[in-house]
Amino acid sequence: MTEIPPNFSSLRIAQDDDRECFRNQDTSSIGQSRRRRRNYSGNYSSTGQLLSNNDTIGGDRLLSLYSYNSSKILTAGKTKKKRKMKNLSIQRNQAAMQAAFTIVVAGIALYLFFKLSFIGHLAVEHDQTYISFETEKYISSILQSSLERTITTQRHWPVTVENEKSYFESIPHPMNAEHIISVPSFYVNDADHGQWPYNSERETILGNEGKLLTRKISNMIGSSYEEEKTIFVGIISYRDAECSNTLKSLFSQASHPSRIRVGIVDETDESVDPPCVLDPCKTDRNDTLCHFSNQIDRIDIDSYLSVGSTFARHLQQRLYRGEYYALQVDSNTEFARDWDADLITQFENTNNEMAILSTYLSNRKDSNAQYHICNVIFEESGHGRILKHTIENQPIALPSINDSPSLHPFWSSTFSFSRGHFILTVPYDPHLPMLEKNDEEISMTLRAFTHGYDFYVPQRPVCFQHNNDDELAGEKEEMFGVPISLKHAFWENIDKPLLSSTREFSRTRFLKLSSMSKNVYLTGSNYVEAKRYGLGKVREVSQFFSTFGIHNEAKVTEKELCDFVTSGTMHNLFSLHLRHDNMGLDYNSINFRFNELIWTRHKE
Protein backbone atom coordinates (compact mmCIF):
# COMPACT_ATOMS: atom_id res chain seq x y z
CA MET A 1 0.00 0.00 0.00
CA THR A 2 1.34 3.44 -0.91
CA GLU A 3 2.62 5.30 2.13
CA ILE A 4 0.80 8.61 2.81
CA PRO A 5 3.12 11.57 3.42
CA PRO A 6 2.90 12.80 7.06
CA ASN A 7 1.44 16.22 6.20
CA PHE A 8 -1.23 14.72 3.95
CA SER A 9 -1.99 12.12 6.59
CA SER A 10 -2.59 14.81 9.22
CA LEU A 11 -4.88 16.71 6.91
CA ARG A 12 -6.93 13.61 6.15
CA ILE A 13 -7.32 12.79 9.85
CA ALA A 14 -8.43 16.38 10.57
CA GLN A 15 -10.99 16.32 7.77
CA ASP A 16 -12.46 13.08 9.09
CA ASP A 17 -12.69 14.57 12.58
CA ASP A 18 -14.45 17.66 11.20
CA ARG A 19 -17.14 15.58 9.55
CA GLU A 20 -17.91 13.78 12.80
CA CYS A 21 -17.89 17.00 14.82
CA PHE A 22 -20.26 18.86 12.47
CA ARG A 23 -22.70 15.97 12.68
CA ASN A 24 -22.63 16.11 16.50
CA GLN A 25 -22.37 19.95 16.76
CA ASP A 26 -19.33 19.44 18.98
CA THR A 27 -17.30 22.54 18.13
CA SER A 28 -14.67 21.90 20.74
CA SER A 29 -13.63 18.82 18.79
CA ILE A 30 -13.76 20.89 15.61
CA GLY A 31 -11.25 23.21 17.11
CA GLN A 32 -9.00 20.34 18.08
CA SER A 33 -9.02 18.89 14.58
CA ARG A 34 -8.37 22.26 12.97
CA ARG A 35 -5.48 22.90 15.27
CA ARG A 36 -3.78 19.80 13.79
CA ARG A 37 -3.73 21.62 10.45
CA ARG A 38 -2.43 24.93 11.85
CA ASN A 39 1.03 25.18 13.15
CA TYR A 40 0.44 27.93 15.75
CA SER A 41 3.04 28.28 18.44
CA GLY A 42 0.53 29.76 20.89
CA ASN A 43 -3.10 29.26 21.96
CA TYR A 44 -6.27 31.34 21.64
CA SER A 45 -8.85 32.24 24.28
CA SER A 46 -12.61 31.96 23.70
CA THR A 47 -12.62 35.58 22.51
CA GLY A 48 -9.93 34.92 19.97
CA GLN A 49 -7.07 36.52 21.95
CA LEU A 50 -3.67 34.89 21.43
CA LEU A 51 -2.35 33.47 24.68
CA SER A 52 1.20 32.67 25.58
CA ASN A 53 2.27 29.16 26.39
CA ASN A 54 1.97 29.93 30.08
CA ASP A 55 -1.54 31.46 29.91
CA THR A 56 -4.35 29.31 31.25
CA ILE A 57 -8.11 29.54 31.51
CA GLY A 58 -9.77 28.14 34.63
CA GLY A 59 -6.42 26.78 35.81
CA ASP A 60 -6.02 24.51 32.76
CA ARG A 61 -3.82 25.08 29.74
CA LEU A 62 -5.89 25.96 26.69
CA LEU A 63 -5.48 23.14 24.19
CA SER A 64 -7.87 24.04 21.37
CA LEU A 65 -8.63 26.93 19.07
CA TYR A 66 -12.07 27.41 20.65
CA SER A 67 -13.26 26.57 24.16
CA TYR A 68 -16.38 24.51 24.76
CA ASN A 69 -18.41 27.64 25.80
CA SER A 70 -17.76 29.30 22.44
CA SER A 71 -20.09 26.80 20.78
CA LYS A 72 -23.04 28.77 22.11
CA ILE A 73 -22.36 31.71 19.78
CA LEU A 74 -22.58 29.52 16.64
CA THR A 75 -25.92 30.03 14.89
CA ALA A 76 -27.78 27.59 12.72
CA GLY A 77 -27.08 29.83 9.70
CA LYS A 78 -23.36 29.64 10.25
CA THR A 79 -23.54 25.88 10.63
CA LYS A 80 -25.37 25.51 7.29
CA LYS A 81 -22.88 27.81 5.61
CA LYS A 82 -19.98 25.75 6.91
CA ARG A 83 -21.65 22.55 5.70
CA LYS A 84 -22.05 24.01 2.21
CA MET A 85 -18.45 25.14 2.17
CA LYS A 86 -17.35 21.69 3.36
CA ASN A 87 -19.43 19.94 0.67
CA LEU A 88 -18.05 22.26 -2.01
CA SER A 89 -14.52 21.54 -0.83
CA ILE A 90 -15.17 17.79 -0.92
CA GLN A 91 -16.57 18.03 -4.45
CA ARG A 92 -13.55 19.98 -5.61
CA ASN A 93 -11.20 17.45 -4.03
CA GLN A 94 -13.05 14.58 -5.69
CA ALA A 95 -12.90 16.30 -9.09
CA ALA A 96 -9.17 16.92 -8.67
CA MET A 97 -8.55 13.29 -7.69
CA GLN A 98 -10.53 12.01 -10.69
CA ALA A 99 -8.58 14.27 -13.03
CA ALA A 100 -5.28 13.10 -11.54
CA PHE A 101 -6.31 9.46 -11.85
CA THR A 102 -7.30 9.97 -15.51
CA ILE A 103 -3.92 11.52 -16.25
CA VAL A 104 -2.07 8.63 -14.55
CA VAL A 105 -4.06 5.97 -16.43
CA ALA A 106 -3.52 7.75 -19.74
CA GLY A 107 0.20 7.99 -19.02
CA ILE A 108 0.44 4.27 -18.26
CA ALA A 109 -1.50 3.38 -21.40
CA LEU A 110 0.86 5.51 -23.49
CA TYR A 111 3.89 3.99 -21.74
CA LEU A 112 2.66 0.44 -22.36
CA PHE A 113 1.93 1.22 -26.01
CA PHE A 114 5.44 2.48 -26.72
CA LYS A 115 7.06 -0.18 -24.50
CA LEU A 116 5.29 -3.08 -26.20
CA SER A 117 6.03 -1.58 -29.61
CA PHE A 118 9.70 -1.43 -28.62
CA ILE A 119 9.69 -5.02 -27.36
CA GLY A 120 7.93 -6.18 -30.51
CA HIS A 121 10.55 -4.45 -32.63
CA LEU A 122 13.32 -6.19 -30.67
CA ALA A 123 11.55 -9.53 -31.03
CA VAL A 124 11.62 -9.25 -34.82
CA GLU A 125 15.25 -8.19 -34.86
CA HIS A 126 16.48 -10.79 -32.41
CA ASP A 127 14.44 -13.84 -33.31
CA GLN A 128 11.91 -13.23 -30.53
CA THR A 129 14.50 -13.11 -27.75
CA TYR A 130 13.39 -10.54 -25.19
CA ILE A 131 15.69 -8.31 -23.21
CA SER A 132 14.17 -9.46 -19.93
CA PHE A 133 10.81 -10.69 -18.68
CA GLU A 134 8.23 -11.79 -21.24
CA THR A 135 5.43 -9.45 -22.29
CA GLU A 136 2.67 -11.27 -20.37
CA LYS A 137 4.55 -11.00 -17.09
CA TYR A 138 5.44 -7.37 -17.74
CA ILE A 139 1.81 -6.33 -18.26
CA SER A 140 0.45 -8.35 -15.33
CA SER A 141 3.10 -6.95 -12.97
CA ILE A 142 1.98 -3.37 -13.66
CA LEU A 143 -1.71 -4.18 -13.37
CA GLN A 144 -1.39 -6.19 -10.15
CA SER A 145 0.89 -3.70 -8.44
CA SER A 146 -1.96 -1.11 -8.75
CA LEU A 147 0.44 1.67 -9.65
CA GLU A 148 2.20 1.21 -6.32
CA ARG A 149 5.32 -0.60 -7.59
CA THR A 150 7.49 -0.03 -10.64
CA ILE A 151 8.76 -3.21 -12.32
CA THR A 152 11.69 -2.50 -14.61
CA THR A 153 12.60 -4.76 -17.49
CA GLN A 154 16.35 -4.49 -17.04
CA ARG A 155 17.79 -6.41 -14.09
CA HIS A 156 21.18 -5.91 -12.51
CA TRP A 157 23.66 -8.58 -13.59
CA PRO A 158 25.44 -10.43 -12.28
CA VAL A 159 23.51 -10.77 -9.05
CA THR A 160 25.12 -12.13 -5.90
CA VAL A 161 23.93 -13.32 -2.51
CA GLU A 162 26.73 -11.26 -0.97
CA ASN A 163 24.38 -8.28 -1.17
CA GLU A 164 21.68 -10.09 0.80
CA LYS A 165 23.44 -11.09 4.01
CA SER A 166 20.91 -9.20 6.08
CA TYR A 167 18.26 -11.57 4.69
CA PHE A 168 20.13 -14.81 5.40
CA GLU A 169 18.34 -17.53 7.37
CA SER A 170 19.69 -19.57 10.25
CA ILE A 171 19.04 -23.28 9.90
CA PRO A 172 20.20 -26.20 12.07
CA HIS A 173 22.71 -28.72 10.82
CA PRO A 174 20.82 -31.93 9.87
CA MET A 175 22.86 -34.11 12.24
CA ASN A 176 23.67 -31.55 14.92
CA ALA A 177 20.83 -29.20 15.80
CA GLU A 178 23.13 -27.17 18.07
CA HIS A 179 25.26 -26.19 15.09
CA ILE A 180 23.47 -23.32 13.34
CA ILE A 181 24.33 -22.44 9.75
CA SER A 182 23.62 -19.04 8.18
CA VAL A 183 22.44 -19.56 4.61
CA PRO A 184 20.85 -17.47 1.82
CA SER A 185 17.07 -17.43 1.62
CA PHE A 186 15.42 -19.07 -1.36
CA TYR A 187 14.95 -16.73 -4.30
CA VAL A 188 11.22 -16.12 -3.67
CA ASN A 189 11.39 -16.10 0.09
CA ASP A 190 11.40 -12.31 0.51
CA ALA A 191 9.69 -9.98 -1.94
CA ASP A 192 10.48 -6.85 0.06
CA HIS A 193 14.01 -6.48 -1.25
CA GLY A 194 13.11 -6.72 -4.88
CA GLN A 195 13.30 -10.41 -5.70
CA TRP A 196 9.65 -11.12 -6.36
CA PRO A 197 6.99 -8.80 -7.76
CA TYR A 198 4.01 -9.79 -5.62
CA ASN A 199 3.94 -10.44 -1.88
CA SER A 200 0.89 -12.66 -2.30
CA GLU A 201 2.80 -15.00 -4.60
CA ARG A 202 6.24 -15.07 -3.01
CA GLU A 203 5.57 -18.33 -1.15
CA THR A 204 3.28 -19.81 -3.78
CA ILE A 205 6.10 -20.87 -6.06
CA LEU A 206 8.31 -22.48 -3.39
CA GLY A 207 6.92 -25.99 -3.51
CA ASN A 208 3.84 -24.51 -5.26
CA GLU A 209 1.67 -26.53 -2.86
CA GLY A 210 2.19 -29.44 -5.26
CA LYS A 211 0.03 -27.88 -7.99
CA LEU A 212 0.90 -27.44 -11.64
CA LEU A 213 2.62 -24.17 -12.45
CA THR A 214 0.56 -21.77 -14.48
CA ARG A 215 2.01 -20.20 -17.60
CA LYS A 216 1.69 -16.81 -15.90
CA ILE A 217 3.90 -17.78 -12.95
CA SER A 218 6.30 -19.66 -15.20
CA ASN A 219 6.78 -16.53 -17.30
CA MET A 220 7.66 -14.53 -14.20
CA ILE A 221 10.77 -16.62 -13.62
CA GLY A 222 13.78 -16.01 -15.80
CA SER A 223 16.18 -13.15 -16.43
CA SER A 224 18.23 -12.18 -19.47
CA TYR A 225 21.49 -10.36 -19.98
CA GLU A 226 22.67 -8.78 -23.22
CA GLU A 227 19.66 -10.29 -24.99
CA GLU A 228 20.68 -13.80 -23.87
CA LYS A 229 18.73 -15.94 -21.39
CA THR A 230 20.75 -16.51 -18.24
CA ILE A 231 21.87 -19.89 -16.87
CA PHE A 232 22.46 -20.85 -13.24
CA VAL A 233 24.94 -23.71 -12.82
CA GLY A 234 24.78 -25.51 -9.48
CA ILE A 235 27.78 -27.55 -8.35
CA ILE A 236 28.64 -29.38 -5.14
CA SER A 237 32.22 -30.37 -4.45
CA TYR A 238 33.47 -32.63 -1.70
CA ARG A 239 37.25 -32.31 -1.39
CA ASP A 240 37.52 -32.43 -5.17
CA ALA A 241 40.70 -31.03 -6.72
CA GLU A 242 39.01 -31.15 -10.15
CA CYS A 243 36.44 -28.51 -9.21
CA SER A 244 38.51 -25.50 -10.26
CA ASN A 245 39.21 -26.98 -13.70
CA THR A 246 35.53 -27.78 -14.10
CA LEU A 247 34.78 -24.08 -13.62
CA LYS A 248 37.42 -23.08 -16.15
CA SER A 249 35.99 -25.51 -18.67
CA LEU A 250 32.47 -24.24 -17.99
CA PHE A 251 33.31 -20.60 -18.75
CA SER A 252 35.94 -21.06 -21.45
CA GLN A 253 33.79 -23.40 -23.55
CA ALA A 254 30.57 -21.36 -23.34
CA SER A 255 29.43 -19.34 -26.34
CA HIS A 256 28.10 -16.58 -24.04
CA PRO A 257 29.98 -16.90 -20.72
CA SER A 258 28.68 -13.51 -19.53
CA ARG A 259 25.16 -14.94 -19.07
CA ILE A 260 26.32 -17.77 -16.79
CA ARG A 261 26.23 -17.60 -13.02
CA VAL A 262 27.62 -20.39 -10.83
CA GLY A 263 26.64 -21.43 -7.32
CA ILE A 264 29.08 -23.77 -5.54
CA VAL A 265 28.91 -25.59 -2.24
CA ASP A 266 32.57 -26.33 -1.51
CA GLU A 267 33.23 -28.85 1.27
CA THR A 268 36.94 -29.00 2.09
CA ASP A 269 39.47 -29.78 4.77
CA GLU A 270 41.21 -26.40 4.97
CA SER A 271 44.42 -27.94 6.30
CA VAL A 272 44.80 -30.13 3.21
CA ASP A 273 42.49 -29.17 0.36
CA PRO A 274 42.67 -26.11 -1.88
CA PRO A 275 39.33 -24.33 -2.31
CA CYS A 276 37.45 -24.63 -5.57
CA VAL A 277 37.87 -20.87 -6.15
CA LEU A 278 41.03 -19.35 -4.69
CA ASP A 279 40.93 -15.64 -5.60
CA PRO A 280 42.36 -16.23 -9.09
CA CYS A 281 43.02 -12.54 -9.72
CA LYS A 282 45.76 -12.49 -7.06
CA THR A 283 47.90 -15.04 -8.87
CA ASP A 284 47.05 -14.40 -12.53
CA ARG A 285 44.80 -11.64 -13.81
CA ASN A 286 44.61 -13.40 -17.17
CA ASP A 287 43.20 -16.53 -15.57
CA THR A 288 39.78 -17.58 -16.88
CA LEU A 289 38.24 -17.54 -13.42
CA CYS A 290 39.59 -14.04 -12.77
CA HIS A 291 37.49 -12.68 -15.65
CA PHE A 292 34.31 -14.30 -14.31
CA SER A 293 34.92 -14.28 -10.56
CA ASN A 294 31.99 -11.88 -9.99
CA GLN A 295 29.68 -14.51 -11.54
CA ILE A 296 30.50 -17.13 -8.90
CA ASP A 297 28.82 -17.46 -5.51
CA ARG A 298 29.91 -20.13 -3.09
CA ILE A 299 29.18 -21.58 0.32
CA ASP A 300 32.22 -23.00 2.10
CA ILE A 301 31.71 -25.82 4.59
CA ASP A 302 34.24 -27.79 6.64
CA SER A 303 34.31 -31.32 5.29
CA TYR A 304 33.74 -32.83 8.73
CA LEU A 305 30.27 -31.24 8.69
CA SER A 306 29.31 -32.89 5.40
CA VAL A 307 26.17 -35.03 5.56
CA GLY A 308 25.88 -36.05 1.93
CA SER A 309 24.72 -34.72 -1.39
CA THR A 310 21.06 -33.96 -0.57
CA PHE A 311 21.85 -31.28 2.01
CA ALA A 312 24.68 -29.88 -0.11
CA ARG A 313 22.35 -29.68 -3.14
CA HIS A 314 19.76 -27.93 -0.99
CA LEU A 315 22.32 -25.25 -0.09
CA GLN A 316 23.36 -25.05 -3.74
CA GLN A 317 19.77 -24.30 -4.76
CA ARG A 318 19.61 -21.46 -2.24
CA LEU A 319 22.20 -19.64 -4.37
CA TYR A 320 19.80 -19.51 -7.33
CA ARG A 321 18.63 -15.96 -8.10
CA GLY A 322 16.05 -16.09 -10.85
CA GLU A 323 18.09 -17.21 -13.85
CA TYR A 324 16.08 -18.41 -16.84
CA TYR A 325 17.64 -21.88 -16.92
CA ALA A 326 19.18 -24.10 -14.26
CA LEU A 327 21.92 -26.68 -14.82
CA GLN A 328 23.09 -29.15 -12.20
CA VAL A 329 26.37 -31.03 -12.66
CA ASP A 330 29.08 -32.66 -10.55
CA SER A 331 32.43 -31.08 -9.74
CA ASN A 332 34.34 -33.37 -12.14
CA THR A 333 32.66 -32.35 -15.40
CA GLU A 334 34.23 -31.29 -18.67
CA PHE A 335 32.24 -29.15 -21.11
CA ALA A 336 32.04 -29.20 -24.91
CA ARG A 337 32.40 -26.03 -26.97
CA ASP A 338 29.27 -23.85 -27.13
CA TRP A 339 27.56 -26.11 -24.61
CA ASP A 340 25.24 -23.33 -23.39
CA ALA A 341 23.78 -22.45 -26.78
CA ASP A 342 23.42 -26.13 -27.68
CA LEU A 343 21.59 -26.94 -24.45
CA ILE A 344 19.13 -24.09 -24.88
CA THR A 345 18.44 -25.17 -28.47
CA GLN A 346 17.80 -28.75 -27.35
CA PHE A 347 15.51 -27.61 -24.57
CA GLU A 348 13.49 -25.42 -26.91
CA ASN A 349 13.17 -28.36 -29.31
CA THR A 350 11.07 -30.20 -26.71
CA ASN A 351 8.45 -27.41 -26.87
CA ASN A 352 7.76 -28.34 -23.24
CA GLU A 353 8.07 -25.76 -20.47
CA MET A 354 8.23 -28.58 -17.91
CA ALA A 355 11.03 -30.50 -19.67
CA ILE A 356 14.15 -31.62 -17.82
CA LEU A 357 17.11 -32.85 -19.86
CA SER A 358 18.77 -35.41 -17.62
CA THR A 359 21.10 -38.36 -18.01
CA TYR A 360 24.28 -39.96 -16.73
CA LEU A 361 27.42 -38.57 -18.33
CA SER A 362 29.85 -40.54 -20.44
CA ASN A 363 33.47 -39.92 -21.47
CA ARG A 364 32.75 -40.65 -25.14
CA LYS A 365 33.38 -37.43 -27.06
CA ASP A 366 33.25 -39.06 -30.49
CA SER A 367 29.65 -40.24 -30.29
CA ASN A 368 26.17 -38.88 -29.66
CA ALA A 369 25.24 -42.02 -27.76
CA GLN A 370 23.55 -41.20 -24.46
CA TYR A 371 22.53 -43.08 -21.33
CA HIS A 372 18.78 -43.80 -21.35
CA ILE A 373 17.65 -44.21 -17.75
CA CYS A 374 15.00 -46.88 -17.98
CA ASN A 375 16.21 -50.02 -16.25
CA VAL A 376 15.17 -50.20 -12.58
CA ILE A 377 15.23 -53.04 -10.10
CA PHE A 378 14.22 -53.68 -6.50
CA GLU A 379 17.18 -54.56 -4.31
CA GLU A 380 17.20 -56.02 -0.82
CA SER A 381 18.07 -53.37 1.76
CA GLY A 382 16.82 -52.01 5.07
CA HIS A 383 13.04 -51.75 4.88
CA GLY A 384 12.89 -54.45 2.25
CA ARG A 385 13.29 -54.19 -1.46
CA ILE A 386 14.27 -50.69 -2.57
CA LEU A 387 13.80 -49.34 -6.09
CA LYS A 388 17.07 -48.31 -7.73
CA HIS A 389 18.53 -47.36 -11.08
CA THR A 390 22.31 -47.41 -11.36
CA ILE A 391 24.52 -46.34 -14.22
CA GLU A 392 25.87 -49.81 -14.90
CA ASN A 393 22.36 -51.08 -15.70
CA GLN A 394 21.44 -48.35 -18.18
CA PRO A 395 21.84 -48.76 -21.96
CA ILE A 396 23.88 -46.30 -24.03
CA ALA A 397 22.14 -45.71 -27.33
CA LEU A 398 22.12 -43.24 -30.19
CA PRO A 399 19.06 -40.98 -30.27
CA SER A 400 16.10 -42.48 -32.11
CA ILE A 401 14.41 -39.08 -32.36
CA ASN A 402 16.18 -36.60 -34.63
CA ASP A 403 14.38 -33.30 -34.10
CA SER A 404 14.08 -33.30 -30.31
CA PRO A 405 15.43 -34.82 -27.10
CA SER A 406 13.56 -38.06 -26.42
CA LEU A 407 11.45 -38.93 -23.40
CA HIS A 408 12.63 -41.43 -20.81
CA PRO A 409 11.22 -42.28 -17.34
CA PHE A 410 13.91 -41.28 -14.82
CA TRP A 411 16.05 -38.39 -13.61
CA SER A 412 19.76 -38.24 -12.75
CA SER A 413 21.51 -35.91 -10.31
CA THR A 414 24.67 -36.08 -12.43
CA PHE A 415 23.23 -33.89 -15.18
CA SER A 416 19.97 -31.93 -15.09
CA PHE A 417 18.99 -28.97 -17.28
CA SER A 418 15.63 -27.25 -16.91
CA ARG A 419 13.84 -23.95 -16.53
CA GLY A 420 14.78 -22.14 -13.34
CA HIS A 421 11.41 -22.75 -11.73
CA PHE A 422 12.30 -26.44 -11.22
CA ILE A 423 14.63 -25.40 -8.39
CA LEU A 424 11.82 -23.54 -6.66
CA THR A 425 9.01 -26.00 -7.33
CA VAL A 426 10.92 -29.15 -6.33
CA PRO A 427 13.68 -28.03 -3.94
CA TYR A 428 16.00 -30.65 -2.46
CA ASP A 429 14.90 -32.01 0.91
CA PRO A 430 17.52 -30.88 3.48
CA HIS A 431 16.32 -33.43 6.04
CA LEU A 432 17.86 -36.50 4.38
CA PRO A 433 21.42 -36.71 5.77
CA MET A 434 23.65 -39.46 4.43
CA LEU A 435 21.03 -40.63 1.93
CA GLU A 436 22.53 -42.75 -0.84
CA LYS A 437 22.71 -41.41 -4.38
CA ASN A 438 20.27 -44.01 -5.76
CA ASP A 439 17.64 -43.12 -3.16
CA GLU A 440 18.21 -39.41 -3.84
CA GLU A 441 17.54 -39.90 -7.57
CA ILE A 442 14.40 -42.01 -7.07
CA SER A 443 13.09 -39.43 -4.59
CA MET A 444 13.64 -36.52 -6.99
CA THR A 445 12.23 -38.53 -9.92
CA LEU A 446 8.94 -39.18 -8.14
CA ARG A 447 8.65 -35.67 -6.73
CA ALA A 448 9.37 -34.03 -10.10
CA PHE A 449 6.97 -36.35 -11.93
CA THR A 450 4.12 -35.68 -9.51
CA HIS A 451 4.77 -31.92 -9.81
CA GLY A 452 4.29 -32.16 -13.58
CA TYR A 453 7.85 -32.35 -14.95
CA ASP A 454 8.98 -34.64 -17.79
CA PHE A 455 12.42 -36.17 -18.36
CA TYR A 456 14.28 -36.20 -21.66
CA VAL A 457 17.53 -37.71 -22.95
CA PRO A 458 19.57 -34.93 -24.63
CA GLN A 459 19.93 -35.13 -28.41
CA ARG A 460 23.72 -34.97 -28.07
CA PRO A 461 26.17 -34.67 -25.18
CA VAL A 462 27.38 -31.23 -24.12
CA CYS A 463 29.59 -32.34 -21.24
CA PHE A 464 31.50 -35.41 -20.12
CA GLN A 465 32.55 -37.19 -16.95
CA HIS A 466 35.57 -39.42 -17.25
CA ASN A 467 35.19 -41.56 -14.18
CA ASN A 468 31.80 -43.11 -15.01
CA ASP A 469 32.78 -45.27 -17.96
CA ASP A 470 36.27 -45.81 -16.61
CA GLU A 471 34.93 -47.22 -13.34
CA LEU A 472 32.68 -49.58 -15.26
CA ALA A 473 35.67 -50.81 -17.26
CA GLY A 474 37.78 -51.18 -14.14
CA GLU A 475 40.25 -48.58 -15.38
CA LYS A 476 41.89 -45.90 -13.24
CA GLU A 477 42.63 -42.95 -15.45
CA GLU A 478 43.30 -39.35 -14.56
CA MET A 479 41.03 -36.37 -15.08
CA PHE A 480 42.69 -32.96 -15.13
CA GLY A 481 45.81 -34.73 -13.83
CA VAL A 482 44.11 -36.08 -10.68
CA PRO A 483 43.95 -39.88 -10.18
CA ILE A 484 40.31 -40.95 -9.91
CA SER A 485 41.23 -43.51 -7.22
CA LEU A 486 42.11 -40.63 -4.86
CA LYS A 487 38.56 -39.21 -4.74
CA HIS A 488 37.10 -38.76 -1.27
CA ALA A 489 33.71 -39.87 0.04
CA PHE A 490 31.50 -37.62 2.17
CA TRP A 491 30.93 -40.34 4.78
CA GLU A 492 34.64 -40.72 5.57
CA ASN A 493 34.34 -38.70 8.80
CA ILE A 494 31.52 -40.68 10.38
CA ASP A 495 31.76 -44.05 12.11
CA LYS A 496 29.88 -46.97 10.58
CA PRO A 497 27.20 -47.48 13.30
CA LEU A 498 26.21 -43.81 13.16
CA LEU A 499 26.32 -43.83 9.35
CA SER A 500 24.03 -46.86 9.25
CA SER A 501 21.49 -45.44 11.71
CA THR A 502 21.46 -42.04 9.98
CA ARG A 503 20.86 -43.60 6.58
CA GLU A 504 18.04 -45.68 8.02
CA PHE A 505 16.52 -42.50 9.49
CA SER A 506 16.70 -40.71 6.12
CA ARG A 507 15.50 -43.70 4.13
CA THR A 508 12.43 -43.96 6.35
CA ARG A 509 11.56 -40.36 5.54
CA PHE A 510 12.24 -40.84 1.83
CA LEU A 511 10.08 -43.98 1.60
CA LYS A 512 7.18 -42.38 3.42
CA LEU A 513 7.19 -39.03 1.62
CA SER A 514 7.49 -40.72 -1.78
CA SER A 515 4.75 -43.27 -1.01
CA MET A 516 7.19 -46.09 -1.69
CA SER A 517 6.23 -47.92 1.48
CA LYS A 518 3.08 -48.14 3.58
CA ASN A 519 4.84 -49.85 6.46
CA VAL A 520 6.90 -46.92 7.73
CA TYR A 521 5.78 -44.04 9.93
CA LEU A 522 7.23 -40.60 10.57
CA THR A 523 7.37 -38.97 13.98
CA GLY A 524 9.04 -35.95 15.51
CA SER A 525 11.97 -34.50 13.62
CA ASN A 526 11.50 -36.96 10.77
CA TYR A 527 8.19 -35.33 9.86
CA VAL A 528 9.42 -31.71 9.69
CA GLU A 529 8.43 -29.84 6.49
CA ALA A 530 6.92 -33.02 5.09
CA LYS A 531 4.43 -31.07 2.98
CA ARG A 532 7.02 -28.85 1.30
CA TYR A 533 9.34 -31.73 0.41
CA GLY A 534 6.72 -34.33 -0.41
CA LEU A 535 5.01 -35.38 -3.62
CA GLY A 536 3.15 -33.04 -5.94
CA LYS A 537 -0.55 -33.01 -6.79
CA VAL A 538 -0.36 -32.77 -10.58
CA ARG A 539 -0.04 -36.52 -11.06
CA GLU A 540 -0.46 -39.51 -8.77
CA VAL A 541 2.65 -41.51 -7.97
CA SER A 542 0.59 -44.60 -8.83
CA GLN A 543 0.42 -43.28 -12.41
CA PHE A 544 4.20 -43.40 -12.60
CA PHE A 545 4.37 -46.96 -11.30
CA SER A 546 1.62 -48.33 -13.53
CA THR A 547 2.76 -46.49 -16.66
CA PHE A 548 6.31 -47.83 -16.47
CA GLY A 549 5.58 -51.35 -15.25
CA ILE A 550 6.70 -50.93 -11.65
CA HIS A 551 4.74 -53.11 -9.20
CA ASN A 552 5.59 -51.35 -5.98
CA GLU A 553 3.67 -53.59 -3.60
CA ALA A 554 4.99 -56.80 -5.15
CA LYS A 555 8.46 -55.21 -5.48
CA VAL A 556 9.00 -56.34 -9.05
CA THR A 557 9.46 -54.51 -12.35
CA GLU A 558 8.53 -55.35 -15.91
CA LYS A 559 11.45 -56.15 -18.22
CA GLU A 560 11.97 -54.76 -21.73
CA LEU A 561 11.08 -51.21 -20.65
CA CYS A 562 14.38 -49.96 -22.08
CA ASP A 563 13.50 -51.31 -25.50
CA PHE A 564 10.25 -49.34 -25.34
CA VAL A 565 12.25 -46.21 -24.45
CA THR A 566 15.34 -46.43 -26.69
CA SER A 567 13.27 -47.25 -29.77
CA GLY A 568 11.54 -43.88 -29.47
CA THR A 569 8.12 -45.51 -29.01
CA MET A 570 7.60 -43.89 -25.62
CA HIS A 571 8.43 -40.47 -27.03
CA ASN A 572 6.20 -40.83 -30.08
CA LEU A 573 3.22 -42.01 -28.03
CA PHE A 574 3.49 -39.69 -25.04
CA SER A 575 4.48 -36.45 -26.79
CA LEU A 576 1.04 -36.40 -28.43
CA HIS A 577 -0.37 -35.55 -25.00
CA LEU A 578 1.52 -32.33 -24.42
CA ARG A 579 -0.81 -29.75 -22.87
CA HIS A 580 -2.05 -27.00 -25.17
CA ASP A 581 -0.11 -24.38 -23.17
CA ASN A 582 3.05 -26.57 -23.29
CA MET A 583 3.05 -26.95 -19.49
CA GLY A 584 3.98 -30.64 -19.47
CA LEU A 585 2.42 -33.92 -20.56
CA ASP A 586 -1.14 -34.67 -19.47
CA TYR A 587 -0.85 -38.18 -18.03
CA ASN A 588 -4.58 -38.28 -17.36
CA SER A 589 -5.05 -38.64 -21.10
CA ILE A 590 -2.27 -41.23 -21.50
CA ASN A 591 -4.01 -44.58 -21.31
CA PHE A 592 -0.92 -46.75 -21.32
CA ARG A 593 0.39 -49.44 -18.98
CA PHE A 594 3.67 -51.09 -19.86
CA ASN A 595 3.65 -54.88 -19.87
CA GLU A 596 6.61 -56.87 -21.12
CA LEU A 597 4.52 -59.69 -22.60
CA ILE A 598 2.33 -57.30 -24.59
CA TRP A 599 5.40 -55.35 -25.69
CA THR A 600 7.18 -58.52 -26.83
CA ARG A 601 4.15 -59.57 -28.88
CA HIS A 602 3.91 -56.05 -30.31
CA LYS A 603 7.52 -56.21 -31.55
CA GLU A 604 6.93 -59.59 -33.18
**All structural domains of the chain:** 6-74 (no CATH), 161-603 (3.90.550.10)
Residue 386's pLDDT band (cuts 50, 70, 90)? confident
Which of 85-99, 142-156, 298-312 has the weakest average pLDDT?
142-156
Rounded CA separation 45/179 (Å) = 68
Rounded CA separation 564/547 (Å) = 12
Computed from CA positions of residues 96, 101, 107, 110, in that sequence, does the dihedral angle turn out positive or negative? Answer: negative
- Write the pLDDT tens digit of every residue in 24-55: 444 444 444 434 433 333 443 333 333 344 44
Mean pLDDT, the chain, rounded, equals 75
Residue 310's pLDDT band (cuts 50, 70, 90)? very high
- Write the pLDDT tens digit of every residue in 160-199: 888 888 889 999 899 888 888 899 988 864 334 444 443 3
Rounded CA separation 347/353 (Å) = 9
Determine contact, residues 141/217, Cβ cutoff 8 Å: no
Rounded CA separation 223/137 (Å) = 12
pLDDT surpassing 90 at residue 152: no
409 CB neighbour count, 10 Å cutoff: 25
pTM as predicted: 0.72
Phi, psi of 486, deg, nearest 5: -90, 5
Give the rounded percent of residues in the chain with a pLDDT score beyond 70: 66
Residue 201: left (phi > 0), alpha (psi -120 to 50), or beta?
alpha
Residue 83's pLDDT band (cuts 50, 70, 90)? low
Which among 137-146, 366-375, 463-472 has the top mean pLDDT?
Answer: 366-375
Which among 149-153, 291-295, 371-375 has the top mean pLDDT?
Answer: 371-375
Between 431 and 599, name the one with better pLDDT: 431
Coil/strand/helix, residue 379: strand
Rounded CA separation 265/297 (Å) = 9
Q: What pLDDT does residue 114 have?
A: 58
Which of 6-20, 385-399, 409-423, 555-569 has the weakest average pLDDT?
6-20
